[in-house]
A and B are shown apart, each in its own frame.
Chain A
């Protein structure tokens, strides 16, 4: 029956296939074999004859649906993290779990584009620097990287470009992140610029693209899951690292062990994991997910829902100023006449956050919060305030940050864009005074 449906009515195909099955000892009902047969078929004219029927080729032992797994057992994540997708892994943190100044591993979001590498051979791991912009290709072992170059540690925000996507309308496709695809961990490694100095880059270098060990979702080994990059100026910044430690320990596997590029201030997709090579390019890197619509926004603002041609899309090169209330958890009820402590973090792709304010009247009035200095550029800054409420009732506490350029957060979802990036609208929590 299946065979008939696969092969249709063409007698020539029936003839060819019966011979093929016999002479290669194929069992017509062994899915893997049948699939191989179809693969061969697709090499020749049978593909054309079979047309779309080829779609029912059968991978053997194929797992029809991803095995039920959870990020706690696999990656030691906190049980209250929100699962967006288990193949590939995409997990975010609820706002109140991001209360720590340095985000611990178990509360850090996961954004994967492909499959986590199954084996990592630390001893044999090498980083190769190549591309049109290097004098000569050069490779380093992990041990060489660690011994040859000075070690630097920074607190660095990583935020997914699509954090907040779920608030856009018309809906933008991709993982429907709410507010928690952001973290600020302590990253330790060597400066990319020290490595590039050692290799020697030419004057034609304009971009650095990364290559990682993760496999594409289709498991096609010749295809990269993601290979993005940064302009050379960003690569030469002091805080741009090739990190081998996170929070004082080896980087957890799911976050890029043993080597991760960290370029904070850009969408976190440029901070490639499981790095095996960096290409110094003489043009804007053209790896996987560099092309629009990925990680790009309309160069000129568009009306919501507009289809934007590729050539009118521009690569995102800076994350906007933003903040998050991490205490208390939304929904807190408090007694009348008591002060409410609030706190959270504010960050920007610019130099620093200069102001954080809160409002309990939907933005009619704003009151400054106490704001900490940043540990270093691209670290988030803690804010806190004691809030009093004039009378019983329902309130929303909104927080708004302003950075050194004078730019602050919109209260509404900002400019719509096809893939729903850069939503830096103010965060808010619900409070009831009873």
Chain B
């Protein structure tokens, strides 16, 4: 009985020892990977509490993004590398925005957006959707409603 208690005791000590070693290891590793002063990688979104959220005329003043549901997520995730001007000058449907995000994830270090992706996509597809190519804005809009057929007799 006493022996068993002892074993348990030693096991706990041993486990704690290992754990402390791991923590110390972390600490040493941490100091060695400390980034140089002034060099901050954009490898994560901007914290929400650091975002100034002044809205004027339905537009977020600092970024020029339209106010709407998901605005903060877009600021946090989409202005860490480039300015929001790259977002606001583009227009696409949801699939188009998804494609851009996938391209940035595959080639430009954009992180996984997890379950926030859906909210971000909804925001982008709603506020930065392509305008209809109206005849008023296009001299000759692309052909629409094409009914494809095989031409046999010539």
Point out residues on A near B: beta carbons under 8 Å: 2, 19-20, 23-24, 31, 35-36, 38-40, 51-52, 54-62, 64-66, 83-88, 169-171, 173-176, 216-220, 223, 288, 291, 293, 303-305, 307, 412, 416
Docked-complex contact B43 and A52, CB < 8 angstroms: no
The listed residue with most A CB atoms (<10 A of its CB), out of B24, B47, B51, B75, is B47
**Once the chains are docked, how many angstroms separate the CA of A197 from the CA of B82?**
40
Are B26's CB and A87's CB within 8 A?
no
Interface SS of chain A:
loop
Is residue B13 contacting chain A, with contact meaning CB distance below 8 A? no
CA A428 to CA B91, docked complex, whole Å? 25
The smallest beta-carbon distance between B152 and chain A, in angstroms, is 22
Contacts of A217 in B (CB 8 A): 42, 81-82, 108
* Contacting residues, chain B, for A85 (C-beta < 8 A): 82-83, 85-86, 89
- Please state if A171 and B130 are interface contacts (CB–CB under 8 Å): yes
The complex places the Cα of A67 from the Cα of B60 at a distance, in Å, of 15
Which residues from chain B contact A35 at a C-beta distance below 8 Å?
Answer: 44
Q: Taking A54-B44, A85-B85, A169-B142 as contacts, is the C-beta distance between A288 and B107 under 8 angstroms? A: yes
Q: Are A173 and B40 in contact (CB under 8 A)?
A: no
B34 within 8 A of A: yes
Please tell me if B96 contacts chain A, counting CB pairs below 8 Å. yes
Q: Is B140 an interface residue (CB 8 A)?
A: yes
Chain A residues with CB under 8 A of B30: 24, 36, 40
Instruction: Tell whether B7 is near chain A: CB-to-CB under 8 Å.
Output: no
Which of A23, A54, A64, A305 neighbours the largest number of chain B CB atoms within 10 Å of its CB?
A64
Q: Could you tell me the distance between the alpha carbons of A259 and B75 in the complex, rounded to whole angstroms?
A: 36
Select the residue from B86, B133, B138 with max chain A CB neighbours within 10 A: B86
Residues from chain A with a CB closer than 8 A to the CB of B45 are: 55-57
Q: Are A223 and B109 in contact (CB under 8 A)?
A: yes
Contact of B44 among A55, A216, A223 (CB under 8 A): A55
* Complex contact B63–A65 (CB within 8 A): yes
Contact partners of A87 in chain B: CB under 8 A: 81-83, 85
Q: Which residues of B contact A62 (CB under 8 A)?
A: 40, 46-47, 50, 80
A218-B40 CB under 8 A given contacts A55-B114, A64-B50, A173-B90: no
In the bound assembly, the distance between CA atoms of A23 and B54 in angstroms comes to 40
CB distance from B10 to the nearest CB of A (A): 21
- Contact across chains for A39 and B33 when beta carbons are under 8 A apart: yes
Task: Tell yes or no: B145 within 8 A of A by CB.
Answer: no
Answer whether A220 and B109 are a contact pair too, CB < 8 Å, given A52-B114, A55-B116, A64-B52. yes
Complex: A219 Cα to B39 Cα, angstroms: 8
Residue in contact with B79 in the complex, picked from A19, A65, A291, CB distance below 8 Å? A65
Candidates A39, A64, A86; contact of B51 at CB < 8 Å: A64
**B44 with A174: CB separation less than 8 A:** no
B12 contacts A by Cβ under 8 Å = no
Separation in Å of the A86 CB from the closest CB of chain B? 5
Count, chain B residues at interface, CB 8 A? 62
A65 engages B84 (CB within 8 Å): yes
Interface hub of A36, A59, A288 (most chain B Cβ within 10 A): A59
Please pick, from A64, A173, A218, A288, the residue contacting B43 in the complex, using a CB distance under 8 A. A218
A429 CB, nearest partner CB in chain B, Å: 16
Contact in complex: A219, B79 (CB < 8 Å): no
Judging by beta carbons under 8 Å apart, are A65 and B83 in contact? Answer: yes
- CB contacts (< 8 Å) of A58 on chain B: these are 44, 47, 50
Q: Which of A86, A219, A288, A303 has the most CB of B within 10 A?
A: A219
For B85, give the chain A residue with the smallest CB separation.
Answer: A85
Q: Tell whether, in the assembled complex, residue A216 and residue B83 are in contact, meaning their CB atoms are under 8 Å apart.
A: no
A74 to B: closest C-beta gap in Å: 14
Chain A hits for B50, CB < 8 A: 58, 62, 64
Closest to A288 in B: B107
Chain A residues, CB < 8 A from B43: 59, 218, 220
Chain B stretch 127-154: residues in CB contact (< 8 A) with chain A: 130, 133, 138-142, 146
B48 with A56: CB separation less than 8 A: yes
Chain A residue at minimum C-beta to C-beta distance from B137: A169
Complex A-B: 23 CB contacts under 8 Å: A23-B27, A24-B27, A38-B44, A57-B44, A57-B45, A64-B50, A64-B79, A66-B79, A84-B89, A85-B85, A85-B89, A170-B96, A171-B92, A173-B96, A173-B100, A217-B42, A218-B108, A218-B109, A219-B39, A219-B40, A220-B41, A305-B142, A416-B142
Task: Output the least CB separation between A245 and chain B (Å).
Answer: 31
Please report which residues of chain B, range 93-142, place their CB below 8 angstroms from some CB of chain A when the two chains form the complex. Answer: 96, 99-100, 103, 107-109, 111-116, 130, 133, 138-142
- How distant is the Cα of A205 from the Cα of B79 in the complex, in angstroms? 40
B42 touches A169 (CB 8 A): no
Say if the beta carbon of B18 comes within 8 Å of chain A: no
Give bound CA distance, A176 to B108, whole Å. 20
Given known contacts A56-B48, A217-B42, A304 and B62 CB-to-CB distance under 8 angstroms = no
Minimum CB distance partner of A307 in chain B: B99
Cβ contact within 8 Å between B89 and A40: no
A315 to chain B, nearest CB (A): 16
